Chain A
Amino acid sequence: MRLISLVPTGTKIDFLRFRKMAAVFSLFLCVASAGMFAAKGLNFGIDFRGGILIEVRTEGPANMAQLRQSLGGLGLGEVQLQEFGQPSDVLIRIERQEGGEKAQLVAVEKAKKALGNQVDYRRTEFVGPKVGGELIEAGVTAVLLALAAMLVYIWFRFEWQFGVGAVVALLHDVLLTIGIFALLGLEFNLSTVAAILTIAGYSINDTVVVYDRVRENLRKFKQMPLPDLLNLSINATLSRTLLTSVTTLLALSALYLFGGEVLRGFSFAMIWGVLVGTYSSIFIAVPLLVYMNLRRTGLIVGDTDGDDAAEAGKSAN
């Protein structure tokens, strides 16, 4: 049987040659993302902004105009209606009400009274102002702590230069994810934060695999110029990088297409993150090492745990 292979064996692509181009390209994307975020902002879901979300199913295709009319006259402020997955499903978003938690509760009751018993309530969520603020705080804390923890881990396992490179790539991925959410106006909610953290994990994972090879090659080829050595490392791991991306993307596509409406935003973020993460570990994380004055001798003397583990593995067999 002939096996399919995504990458021909023994590629010698000069990735480092594109490093300036990639840097400019990424910088542009990052600036564009930041600009998008500043100009358009994120379409925060009720998790963060507070407010009310009601998902209803009507008999037959929903009469949006009628629903809009019956909800519009309630004086609840901005009410958004959106078809959700199929014509009979409608997602109703009501902005956070002035006043405290009680006001939100009253608004839910009002809306439900106006909709009556004609519709089937599939989901009702409301987040008061207090909890919304706390959720933002917890989300930001989690992301920052995750970045810091990963930086520390990489620093501990490799050299600080690797840590910086990995975290730059990571920030790049997170920023671009936020950018695309701002650009497309996709709802940014708690599960998006979860997706971003997972993207961070995936991106680091990808980067670590290449870095591991760089470290190994630094020991093996002491005389090789750094750019060549980095190229060699990327090429050696290229097949794995792409294969894992493909299997992950296959699984995520299944989730995106068939996992239901609720998970769509989440799986979209993940798919985007895998694409960006794969790109950044090859074109950002590794080329960055060129500029960071790696102490090659220090690596050989001071960092032998990789070899130790390999030896340990051998003797255990």
Chain B
Amino acid sequence: MQLAVRLCGYFFNLFEPLFRVGQRWLGLSRLGWLFVAPNLLVFGLFTFLPILINLVYATTGGVKLMPLERPFTGAENFAILLECRDYFDLQSCRKDVFWRSIFNTARFSLIQVVLMVGLSLLTALVLNRKIIGRGFWRSVFFYPVLLSPVVVALIWKWLLQSQGVFNAGLVAAGAAPVDWLLDAGWAFFWTVFVSIWAHMGFYTLILLAGLQAIPKDMYEAAQLDAARPWRTLRRITLPLLIPNLIVVLVLALIRAVQIFDEVFVLTGGGPGSATTFIVQFIYQTGFAEQIHLYGLAAAASLMLALGLIALTLAQLRLTRASTAGQKAR
């Protein structure tokens, strides 16, 4: 402990003169730039620059890695991705797996976000009650959030494989074993289930905090008016919870659209392309195939990023409108 304190002291003394000088040069308010500089530097180098490089990839073709060696092709990659003989038949598209993955991702995000936020809300409401050992229960629900996606996927893969414990239970009960991960419908169900299993605790905690921030006198007033619990929920609890719900919905949607690790380990995108989501398509196109189509991968990722930004903005606008509506009432 002593060593740590002394190290901190050295560190402090190291940088103080730098900032004193900086203060004299930049003046007080612009000193903020100096503080934000390291973060911006790392971010610029390792996030912003790669995004720009991605733009270069998206507008070039060929299979070379170095951007400058690639032939310029303009919007050809985007054209390839969007080329379809009949827009109502996914099969007829040139990159049918791309379209399938978008469709899968949309379906997944919608179902998973609604279910997960609903379950988180329910759990938060339960945890908000007068129960014994609330801290313990909170930790129970939060624990899976800490596990890495690979660990989560392996645990469930082990449970669901054809000789796993789920099928053992079925056989013991006299039923036939089910191909949990080999059937398109079930595989999709399990991707939703496992991702909710792994992430619900995080959102539960945020909603719980929101619930606990609602002043108690609100409830007392409602009780005085002999309001039924359902009414209290609808008129008092939910409206006051809206800010937290917005945060949860936005974060959950962003995460759902970006899902990759746990699904990749759990199903590999299979069976066929039933659980192939958009990020996996990008990974496969750019990394996993022998002939690396970096351009296509970059074009697809740009489209994903734009789509995600549009989705989030739309979501924020919608929720702002509903909040305004609520306030007006």
A binds B: no
